[in-house]
Structure 1
Amino acid sequence: MSTAPEIRAPRTTSATGRIAPQYKRSGGSKSQFEMLAWLFMRLSGVVLVVLIFGHLTVNLLLGQGVHGIDFGFVAGKWADPFWQVWDLAMLWLAMLHGTNGVRTIINDYAERDSVRFWLKMVLFAASAVIVILGTLVIFTFDPCPHGITTGLPDFCPAA
């Protein structure tokens, strides 16, 4: 009669007698931030699919398609507050969704606390700059620039 070999519990001593490697990270927070971030990724992904397909349908399938996209097309679109809010929501959700995804990757692969901290600081700074500049462009865009008389949308006084 043979005896079965002993099966050790995971992360205990290995066959060589050494302790299995484990990450040495600072204590995790006891808040629900990671669960809320996970939930945000799922919900924002669904909303982004709707926003992006709406954006692509209006810009590429309706009207003249890709050949109709020019300054006048964008100016006419952003003259309507609905499209400003639509594009703003798409910008903000895409940036927050992508930033959260890259934050998760940094947490998974950066082993040292200091490296993880600085990578996330660079990520958050870059994301903030892009969101701020994008928001400024959407809301300060002038569809009727002064001094230009050709190629303007029909609603501009100089056209």
Structure 2
Amino acid sequence: MTTIEAPRTPVVRKKGSNLEKWGWIYMRVSGLILVVLIFGHLFVNLMVGEGISGIDFAFVAGKYASPFWQAWDGLMLWLALIHGANGMRTIINDYVTHPRTRAVLVGAVVVAAAFLIVLGTLVITTFDPCLGFDPATASDTISSICA
């Protein structure tokens, strides 16, 4: 006969780090920080200046000329991608029952998130609006930045 433990029986867990607990804490903390970062990003891009019609290549070039905005967007990129990947990992762990399929899917999520983080960080940190600059065909805004 099989016995079922009482509902209040304490769970004895292995020694070591509790990754699920730290993932849960990360989701809450990163979510709060992301709310501030995203609304700040939207406010600056859509409400300040000319609004959405003012967003063009020159706007982005001027924004990424500042280390502050590089750090802001970089932090937003890292937190959002890790937050999303951790959420996908949780969903995969909840719904995929076959261990090998679960490992493949979680691995794919990790690879995709890592690739996007590296690519996005490279774009933010190495953005050069003057690459291939030709004064004869450039707009006045780009000419003023690259002069």
- Give the match's secondary structure for 2:145: coil
Deviations 1:48-86 (A, max 9, x none): 000000000000000000000000000000000000000
In the other structure, the counterpart of 1:76 is 62
Q: Number of matched residues?
A: 134
User: Which structure 1 residue ranges, 4+ long, deviate > 3 Å from structure 2?
Assistant: 27-30
| Contact 1:44/1:93 (8 A) holds in 2 | yes
| Contact 1:51/1:86 (8 A) holds in 2 | yes
Distance 2:114 2:60 in 1: 24
Change (3 A) 1:118 1:64: same
In the other structure, the counterpart of 2:145 is 155
Name the stretch that deviates more: 125-134 or 136-145.
136-145
- Larger Rg computed on CA atoms: 1
The alpha carbon displacement at 1:30 in A equals 5.2
| Contact 2:133/2:146 (8 A) holds in 1 | no
Scaled by the length of structure 1, the TM-score of the pair is 0.78
The alpha carbon displacement at 1:31 in A equals 2.6
The alpha carbon displacement at 1:144 in A equals 1.6
Q: Which has the higher helix share?
A: 2
- Map 1:4-153 onto structure 2 (within 5 A): 31-149=17-135, 150-151=138-139, 152=142
Scaled by the length of structure 2, the TM-score of the pair is 0.85
Gap regions ≥5 residues in structure 2 = 6-12
RMSD over aligned Cα, in angstroms?
2.0
- Give the match's secondary structure for 1:45: helix
